[in-house]
Structures are given as structure tokens and as C-alpha cells.
Amino acid sequence: MNLNNLYNFKNPIRHFIDIESLWFPTDDSSFEINKLSWTGPFSFRIKKQDDKYRTLKIPNILNFLASYRHFKELENFNNIQEMDPIHKRLSANILTGDFVSGEYDRQLQRDFERLCIYDYLLKVDIKEYYGRIYTHYLDYQGCVEQYLTNMNRGATNGLIMGNYISLYFAELNLKHISRDIERYMERDGLNCEFSYFSDDFYFFCNKRDVEQVIEIFDMVLEKYGLERNEFEKEIWTYETFNNYNLVERYWKRIIVYCLQKFDEQINYNQLYFINQIIYRMSNLKDSKHKKVLINNFFKTKYFQELNLGKYKINNYDYHQLCFLFKYSPEVLLYCIDRFNDMPGFNKQKVHRFFEKRYIESLRVRFNDEQLYFYYALKILDFDDILNETKDLVLDSKNQILISYYLKDGIFEETEIEKLKEQEGEEYWFQNYHLILFSDELRSNLEGSISKYLIPKEANKEIQKQSYIDFYKENISSSNKIIRDIIDVNDEIKDYLALKAEEITVAFEPLD
């Protein structure tokens, strides 16, 4: 079982964190609930759209492992789709730490088939779903609720977002909601079909039934202490839905176009795909879809196996590439190493871009994008930019990035002293690395652990000792929680190879 993908599921930050390299107790008794306490997760902001963000809550590692050991044998733990195979739209792949490739396309095909039968697709969602799940409702097969609440300061109202265990229980709760919706629709003889992806529900119904569908949805949610997001109601017809969902067709067309243009006999082929991506983006109205187009193209087996030695890079390619990097910084994970190794790529032509955009990312505080730019700067050997941004990183509240600066030895004594002032449990991730990379703090290891890493609610000696033993063993062994960048690069390559195994791109020309 890949613990890293369970600890951080779906979000690309999982490539940077490695908990499998840590030491853990081998005896089951060490994970008994009475030996652990409430713990506080640390926050990590990820960008959604425009200036909106979602806050992941990364749990204490020892508590997370205890939860995993307790819940891993639950029914369908490794196969969420089987909870509700008729209505559930997602299939999780723990091996890749992502949703299964091709599942979106299969569901989209079914959506179009249903829109031929019904008048509308009504799309609605649950307001602040994870934050409003009442854990007392999650009693299942004798599971102990405290393993969940111990990862969230003892809170019973809400699940922390970002890890697979929370996803599992959120989907388990949705299965019950789904069955209640189905029961009410059968009772009322309502001609409607529905499916759901996390907290987004897709109802296929006729025009006259829209209000009744909404009424049933609201009634069922109220039973679970939830409510509909009144600002996220969408109604689609076949035509409007078809015009909206162009992403997959676009990146396949780009590949076909580039294959037709490529000449194996020459070494100065044009990088046609860059211009093609920008051209296709202009026909997409949704910024999320534009990012999906960019990211999915560079994730493809076609690009990852492309012989860039057969291509030349023109001056205009640099600013077009930078535009794509700016629009979706995540794409840097999938391509910056390939361009850096490309013959003829002049990385000094993008130096100013990375300097300015990295500084801007540190100011707007989307933690995920800061990490993507940091990754690119390390691949490109732009250490001068890293050295110039110490103060901004210190103020970023990005504990993963701060940990990398500690590992790289970028912070000077004044920055280290400021970090030492942040003693609260909410800083446990960066404080682990603060101790790890500080000779002074490691010289009094148990005292440093007690000051910076023991959970606030660990009041009993048996609880304190559990955390002291865990942290002491790992810091003494110089075990980092963050991966070296070269290992991040290898991890991303492995991920892309696994994704390529999941789906084969069809290269036939498309209409």
C-alpha cells in the first residue's frame, strides 16, 4: 500500500512528501487509541479558480498511520467505486494517488446519452461538504470514530480535506445520501437518473421535474445536517453541454496535428503543440478547462516520449511557453525537466519570467503554486532567485516550502530565530525540519521535541512518550519528510508512467 498517496491523495503535493521513509513502531500496541491524543493538522492552500482557494489540512503522521491501520480492512476501502457503482462517478487508484484515467471520458459519454433522453442535466452541489460532515453519522462496521477526530483536534463536526481516509468516509456518507435520494424518487415515481462526483450531483430530468428534484435533494441533505449550495445551480442542455466539454477532443486533435507535421528525417521540427494549445485554449470559456487542457497534454505519453532533440526552439516559443507556465503552474511538474534537457533550450531566456512569477506567487499565497515554481527553479539551477526570496518565503506560511529552504541552508541566522518563535502545534511540519537541520536544536533533541512537536492535548505521560519516541527515532536517523528534488522528479516520472498504463490515447483524426 502506498502510504504517501493515502496521506495526500490527488493533489500534486504528494510528490514532495515521503512518509514511507520514516520509522514507525512495529508493534500494534503502539497505535492503541489511549496512547495517542488529539492533534492539530497543518494548513496548505491550493488554488481553485481566480482568487479562490481550498485549504488542505495535513494530519499528524503518527495519528494518520494509526487511523489507516484501524480502517484499512473496512469494506471497499481500496475500491471506493464499489460502494455505489450505479451512481458514483469516481474511481480512485491508490497506486497513482489519483482518479482513474479514462473514467471522466466514460462518464461524459453516459452524460451525453442521458441528455438525449432527458431535457436537462441539473448540476447542484453540497455546501461546504467536508466541513459539515458529522462524524457520529459515520459509525460503520464498528469503526472507532476517535481515530478520525484525533486527526482534527477532537472535532466531531467536519473531516479534514486532502487524505484518502477522509475521502473514504466522505464517499461512504454520500452512498447513504444517494440511497435516500433514490428511495424518494421511486416513492414519487419521478422519471430521473442521477450520478455524483464527490459533492457534485448530476440529475438528468425533464423540464417539468426540475423543482421536484431540487426539493428531494434539499430534503435528503437536511436529514444529514447538510444543505445545497444555492449559488452553484447549473442547467445544461445537450447542445450547451457539448459546447462546454471540448477539452479531451482538443488535446487529442493537437497530438494528431503534431504527428502529421513531424518529419523524422530533420532535426529542426517546430514545436507546433505550444501554439496549438494556446489556439485551442482561446475556444474554451472555463478557466478550469483551460488548465486541464494544458496539464493533460503535457501528461500524455506522446509528450513524455517526444524526442525533443528532433526539434528546434524559436524565440517566440519562449514567451508562449511562459504564458502556459503562468496560466497553469502545475504543468511545470510535467515538463520543465524535459525542456531543461532539450538541446538548444536557453534557460536564461526564461530567468526573468521565473524570478517575477515566483515572487508574485509568494505574495498571493497559493501554497501549491509556490511549490511548483520552487521545483522548476531547482531543476533550472536558478539558486540566485531562491536566495533573494528568503523573507517572502518566511512570510508565506507554506510549511513545505519553508522546510525546503531549511534543507537547502538558504535561511540565515535571523530567519532561523524567527522560525524558532513559532512554537505552536500548527507549525509541526516546519518545526520537524527546523530541528532536523539545526545542530543546536538536535543537541538537546528531547527538549526540542517537547517544545516544538508534542501535541498540545497530549497531557498523559503515555501519550507524550508515543510522540517523543516517534520523533526522536526519526530525527536521530536524519529522516526527512520532504523528498529531495531529484527524487520528486523520479516520483513524477513514475506517476506519469502509471497513468500512461491506465489509458491509451487514440490517434485517429477527429472531426
Q: Residue 454 to residues 116, 300, 439, 476: CA-CA distances in angstroms?
A: 59, 44, 20, 16
In angstroms, rounded to a whole number, what is the distance separating the alpha carbons of residues 223 and 352?
55
Q: Residue 11 to residues 58, 184, 328, 330, 342: CA-CA distances in angstroms?
A: 12, 35, 14, 10, 28
What does the domain layout of the chain look like in residue ranges? 36-241
Could you tell me which residues are beta bridge partners of residue 99? Answer: 92
- pLDDT value of residue 142: 64
Residue 264 has pLDDT above 90, yes or no: no
Q: What is the pLDDT of residues 39-78, one digit of tens each?
A: 999 999 999 887 888 999 999 999 999 999 999 999 999 9
For residue 113, the SS3 value is helix
CB proximity list for 395: less than 8 A, separation 6 or greater? 362
- pLDDT value of residue 503: 63
In angstroms, rounded to a whole number, what is the distance separating the alpha carbons of residues 33 and 83?
27
Cell of 313: 526552439
In angstroms, rounded to a whole number, what is the distance separating the alpha carbons of residues 449 and 434?
11
- Which has the closest alpha carbon to 15: 488, 497, 495? 488
Q: What confidence category does residue 510 fall into, taking pLDDT thresholds of 50, 70 and 90?
A: very low
Q: What is the pLDDT of residues 415-462, one digit of tens each?
A: 999 999 999 999 999 999 999 999 999 999 999 999 999 999 999 999
Cell of 350: 526564461
Q: What confidence category does residue 194 fall into, taking pLDDT thresholds of 50, 70 and 90?
A: very high
- pLDDT value of residue 501: 84
Q: What confidence category does residue 189 fall into, taking pLDDT thresholds of 50, 70 and 90?
A: very high
Q: What is the pLDDT of residues 130-166, one digit of tens each?
A: 999 988 877 666 677 899 999 999 998 899 999 999 9
Please state, rounded to an integer, the average pLDDT across all residues of the chain. Answer: 92
Q: What is the pLDDT of residues 393-423, one digit of tens each?
A: 999 999 999 999 999 999 999 999 999 999 9
Mean pLDDT of 357-375: 96
Q: What pTM does this model have?
A: 0.94
- pLDDT value of residue 243: 81
The DSSP-derived string for 427-467 is: GHHHHHHHHHT-HHHHHTHHHHHHHHTS-TT--SHHHHHHH
- Residue percentage of the chain with pLDDT more than 70: 97
Q: What confidence category does residue 117 fall into, taking pLDDT thresholds of 50, 70 and 90?
A: very high
- Which has the closest alpha carbon to 158: 13, 55, 45? 55
- pLDDT value of residue 456: 94
CB proximity list for 295: less than 8 A, separation 6 or greater? 328, 330, 331, 334
- pLDDT value of residue 477: 97
Residue carrying the nine cell digits 480492512:
73
Residue 104 has pLDDT above 90, yes or no: no
